Structure 1
């Protein structure tokens, strides 16, 4: 039974291109399934989270991260009486736009695309699901519902806001062009909050990476359990495991402690949301969208504790010397590949040539048009394919 403030499938605002209703699946279940079967989703298997994809079999990739986010999103959404299928769909799509080499690749492409309308992985995810996936007879993209598109665009907060979201911008003109293009096709109400389900996907993302980056950093030897025991929340979790299971072998001790950290985060989010929903009494999904700030979030004490954990991870993991060296190496690859394809678009795969020719013939701003096509190609690369292309086209020893 869904709560009145959940997104009801029967009330969906529909799709850009009309389709018959599925006999067995709700609109949001259909969105979820299309995302799972997309080419972009499969490519997440070979895109990095923190470590470059080939560095070890046990480190998270974008795909394993996405699956973990979707699992957490379903758990939180179910506990709150929200639409679990929509929360899962947004969670599964939230990283589709990530380029090779994770945030390192995103930073490089952001700089390269600055003269041409910018780059942002959430905006690129929208471009993928509305344009770049080309499998269906009647439309480009996946023809997802408005609610799923809105969730991809705004799960981190309003896209146009002076005080909220990771995409805060004072005016629509400053948004990445890929987001503006989709909003021009279909008003995503960028100045409002997203649905509660999309907010759940965003918090689930935080829970997942706070948890698994600790696991991966330990496995990589960038810090130790003793280091983590100095941090809030984590120290208490290790102490509880030691009290309940004295002498537990190290790998089991690590797992038991870090799964408790996971539990602390999820339980906190659910408790905060239940209290806020009980106090504010929203009666429809649009009541959630019109609120002043998110309804799904961490408590203030836990948020401060997580800031301390993130600060530790930033210093000891994301900016660890070995990671920085690799960041510099792969940044050089992106910075070499992008201008090469700009100068010689004939090097793009043959099945891209017709699109390039048609776009350049149609648009007046040829350089900008070409840059956006090259971006689509480079951003779609996996880590291993980007390395292979760099070695094939630029430096065999790279």
Structure 2
């Protein structure tokens, strides 16, 4: 009973390589499962979200972030009668291209790769699902459905705006892909708020005047919650609920106002249709600005990432000089992809911990 503009397998452009239908799993369920079983997805457990992965297990890493995005995405998709499995697949895979050490690591690798085409984690996600993962004997990649790949290729947020790949001519991705964009933004702002409060990088009085925070505290009757940790968790969850509710209501109106009747209408529509209201968006931007100033640029975080940046530069130089230090699987791509791109692929796939171990093993200062 999906909406007429939802993606269903019958209207899909399918897979690059023909695959025999599964007896009890749909095509997009299979995409979700292929992503979950991929090496790149598992390694997200050891990659920084904001705090270096593994230092404190109470804070999010890339894997827990992706799971939270998927949960928010499925909620929105269900409310709008869209394809939950496709939404979940895109949400789970949206960050598989992230390098170690979070956005600081991505920035460093992009600088290193500037003479060789640069680096951007959304485009790297496409390399992973189309080329680097190799669970099947007859072809490279995960052989995902076109619409799953489209959602990854066009994934965007205020901080992620990759160049459009020439393969995709659509102005916009499906509504399921657009959900992943909004769910990602809601998730990282709300769980970064919670982790920031847990870490004491930010304190509750600092947030006075941030309307989303103030309203969330009213909704949960924060003064009555004496357990500080519980209060912080419930506050962040209340912000999620407000934003998700707003997204569902606003998107429902936007789809109706645009007279969307088919998936083709979605692809051709200039503006996104899965959106927040102007009021909610403005309030979320205010929270984002606060987190950028008071958390992401915190001195303790920057110091750690400066060290990691030096490790990444040294490791890249060393592996370009001595590719034999890479596994033979990666070396097999050098002829077709180029040495620097393959070294970039290998480093970008590392967890924080493995990168540090490689740095020590290779005696990189």
Q: How many residues align?
A: 365
Tell me which of 157, 164, 167 is aligned to 2:161: 167
Residue 188 of structure 1 corresponds to which residue in structure 2?
168
Q: Distance in 1 between matches of 2:62 and 2:225?
A: 35
1:208-287 equivalence runs, <5 A: 208-242=187-221, 246-287=224-265
Give the whole-Å Cα distance in 1 for the aligned partners of 2:302 and 2:156.
Answer: 27
Matched, 1:331 2:323: no
- Following the alignment from structure 2 to structure 1, what is the Cα–Cα distance between the partners of residues 281 and 27? 34
Matched, 1:384 2:353: yes
Mapped to 1, the partners of 2:363 and 2:353 lie a distance apart of 15
Contact 1:28/1:145, CA 8 A, preserved across alignment: yes
For structure 2, list consecutive stretches of 5 or more residues without a partner in the other structure.
none
Q: CA deviation at 1:242?
A: 2.8
Following the alignment from structure 1 to structure 2, what is the Cα–Cα distance between the partners of residues 292 and 8?
A: 22
Map 1:120-135; keep pairs closer than 5 Å: 120-135=120-135
Q: Distance in 2 between matches of 1:380 and 1:258?
A: 31
Partner SS for 1:233:
helix
Distance (Å, rounded) in 2 between the aligned partners of 1:344 and 1:19: 39
CA contact (8 A) 2:197 2:232 kept: no
Deviations 1:223-264 (A, max 9, x none): 111212331111121133337x62532222222222111111
Q: Which runs of 4+ in 1 moved over 3 A?
A: 350-356
1:30-82 deviations in whole A, cap 9, x for unaligned? 10110001111100010110111122011100000000000000000000011
Are 2:331 and 2:342, in contact at CA under 8 Å, matched by a contact in 1? no
Gaps in structure 1 of 5+ consecutive residues: 158-163, 169-174
Change in 2 beyond 3 A, CA 1:382/1:293: same
Cα deviation for residue 8 of structure 1 reads 1.3
Question: What's the TM-score, normalizing by structure 1?
Answer: 0.88
Cα deviation for residue 307 of structure 1 reads 1.1
Matched-pair contact (CA < 8 Å) for 2:198–2:229:
no
How many Å separate the matches in 2 of 1:229 and 1:242? Answer: 15
The answer for the alignment partner of 2:149 in structure 1 is 149
Q: Does 1:302 align with 2:280?
A: yes
Q: Work out whether 1:314 is the aligned partner of 2:283.
A: no
The 10-residue stretch of structure 1 (57-66 or 251-260) with the greater mean CA deviation from structure 2: 251-260
Q: So what's the TM-score if we normalise by structure 2?
A: 0.96
Q: State the secondary structure of the residue aligned to 2:270.
A: coil
- Whether 1:16 and 2:10 are equivalent positions in the alignment is no
RMSD over aligned Cα atoms: 1.8
Instruction: Report the counterpart of residue 86 of structure 1 in structure 2.
Output: 86
1:35 corresponds in structure 2 to 35
Distance 2:232 2:136 in 1: 46
